Amino acid sequence: MSDGTRKAAQAALAAEHAAVYGYGVVGGRIAAGRRAEATAAYDAHRARRDALVRTVRDLGAEPVAARAAYALPFAVPDAAAAVRLAALLEDRVADVYSDLVRAAEGPLRRQAADALRESAVRAVRWRGSSVPFPGLVEHTADGSGPAAEAAGTAAKTGGGTGKGSGPGNATGSAH
């Protein structure tokens, strides 16, 4: 596999680490009526994260490690903010998976496309509306853009491994 595929897989893994952490915060603030939805999303991101760890190893790289905590993009004091955070997490994950779709081939490309679709659907459910072309972001000539920012934020701020945590059990700062 190419270096581009490895890099995109690492970015997707970093985004999944961030999503697992973020859903721990979401689960602690979400209204009871949406707690099952947050738990299902948390479980889905943990499964994708675990699969990506194996994928990155299969690609001949050491998987990017999760960190102890992430800086959240905004304060999450209540259920409404938790819903906004969940939608943003899904948008960021979809953005990074779109890069992996472009970089990968064969089964990995299909898995990335499936992950992109699942995140886009969850984002719509959280937000209550859709966006045109989920996961499609514009990149500048220097490689920056929303997906690059999400991957950069994930790489800089790290995230928990998800072990011992889950919706409602987030550790670290919630703002």
**pLDDT higher than threshold 50 for residue 150:** no
Give pLDDT, residue 84. 97
- The pLDDT confidence band at residue 1, using thresholds 50, 70 and 90, is low
Give pLDDT, residue 133. 56
- The pLDDT confidence band at residue 170, using thresholds 50, 70 and 90, is very low
Which residue type is seen at 29? R
Give pLDDT, residue 102. 97
Radius of gyration of the chain (CA): 15
Which residue type is seen at 91? D
Q: Is 128 helix (H, G, I), strand (E, B) or coil?
A: coil
**pLDDT higher than threshold 80 for residue 100:** yes
Dig out the tokens for 27 from the structure. Answer: 């689960």
**pLDDT higher than threshold 80 for residue 60:** yes
**pLDDT higher than threshold 70 for residue 134:** no
Mean pLDDT of the chain: 82
Give pLDDT, residue 147. 40
**pLDDT higher than threshold 60 for residue 43:** yes
Which residue type is seen at 121? V
- The pLDDT confidence band at residue 2, using thresholds 50, 70 and 90, is confident
Give the contacts of 102 (CB within 8 A, at least 6 positions apart): 8
Give pLDDT, residue 169. 37
Q: Is 33 helix (H, G, I), strand (E, B) or coil?
A: helix
% the chain with pLDDT above 90: 71
Q: What is the CB neighbour count within 10 angstroms for residue 75?
A: 11
In the chain, which ranges are continuous DSSP H helix? 3-29, 35-58, 79-103, 106-127, 146-157
Give pLDDT, residue 130. 63
